[in-house]
Amino acid sequence: MKHENIEQQITDYIKLFPSYEKILNFFKQISIEQNKYIEDINIVPPEIKKSLRDIHIKEGFPLIDKQDFFIDINSSIDLFDSLCNISRNANEKLRINVQYIEDAISINALNLREIMRNFYDDLFIEKIAGEFDIDLPVFKFLIYESIKPSLILNVERISKENEIKNWHKGYCPVCGSMPDISKLDKDGRRFLRCSFCNFIWQSERLKCPFCENTDNKKLHYFYAEDHEAYRVDLCDNCNQYIKTVDSRKINYDPFLPVDDIVTIHLDILAQEKGYKRPTASLWGL
């Protein structure tokens, strides 16, 4: 999506959700910066043979593992630097942690090239964050948003070259990650968005994506009091939840990354009820 469209969409969301103006403006800056880099990224996404693809889909295996994504390292490092500059002015927590990162880089103690190469290794990232007293969610956020343009291009190519049909699992058919948000389209069909690569796939409507529970006595939801287009789907079998945008109740196209932001209050309510979000919220900084 071009940044002009993102700017307008976020401006429209700010009018609807003025209490989220600060974080939405931050997201807008991040998105615009990412779009500056995406045009020049050079990637060679993994080639997936048709026979292997068909077997994976049939047996319920994702097409690739996270480490198979091709990341433009140089572009990601440059973007990381730009995002640090944006983040230092966002809030005090980000400013302090950006300073920790830059101090470590200045003495050649932090190797960004190695970090970008190992973006998928949670234990490695945790170890580095611990060594330099960097807040782990902040560190993961900056790394992820830096490689995100590469991920987007990978998924565009993979989905274009590989038709994915009849996938009814709750995890992503591309990389195997769990969804972070879902939507109902105008026809009431349910779609899930991957928390890692952002691929969107159709899913069964009355089914928990995390434990595959289909017992409707253990599946229920609650709406946002001020906006019935947003709801939280709860599963009593695994005590986990996912937020859902109902496109039938709004007159604009959902922009799921932003919808996840403007419903942070629903995350809080769901967690107060004792339910867990299986995927981390990158915006809960």
* Residues 146 and 63 occupy one common structural domain: yes
Q: Rounded to whole angstroms, how far apart are CA atoms 184 and 193?
A: 12
Residue 277: inside a domain, yes or no?
A: no
Domain count, the chain: 2
Residue 30 lies in a domain: no
Q: Strand 240-246 relative to strand 179-184: parallel, antiparallel, unpaired? A: parallel
Same domain, residue pair 152 and 202 = no
Instruction: Report if residue 3 sits inside a domain.
Output: no
Which residues, at least 6 apart from 130, have a Cβ–Cβ distance to it below 8 Å?
Answer: 136
* Cα gap 82→33, rounded to integer Å: 8
For residues 200 and 179, give the distance between their C-alpha atoms in angstroms, rounded to a whole number: 9
Residues 128 and 67 occupy one common structural domain: yes
Structure tokens of 232? 């939280």
Residue 154 lies in a domain: yes
* Residue that is last in its domain, among 126, 161, 196: 161
Range of the domain at 244: 179-272
The values of phi and psi at residue 181, to 5°, are -160, 160
In a domain, 7, yes or no: no
Q: Is 10 among the domain residues?
A: no
Tens digits of residue pLDDT in 257-273: 999 999 999 999 999 99
130/238 same-domain check: no
Mean pLDDT score of the chain:
92
For range 91-115, the mean pLDDT: 95
User: Do 93 and 64 reside in the same domain of the chain?
Assistant: yes
pTM for the model: 0.92
Same structural domain for residues 133 and 199?
no
Give me the pLDDT at residue 282, please: 64
- The string over 234-253, giving b where at least 16 C-beta atoms fall within 10 Å of a residue's C-beta and e elsewhere, is bbebbebbbbbbbbeeeeee
Q: Is the residue at 149 inside a domain?
A: yes
Residue 185 counted as domain residue: yes
Whether 44 and 151 map to the same domain: the answer is: yes
Same domain, 148 and 235: no
Tell me: the pLDDT tens digits for 147-187? 999 999 999 999 888 878 888 899 999 999 999 999 999 99
Q: CA nearest 282: which of 30, 10, 54, 6?
A: 30
Distance of alpha carbon 247 from alpha carbon 256, whole angstroms = 11
Same domain, 151 and 201: no
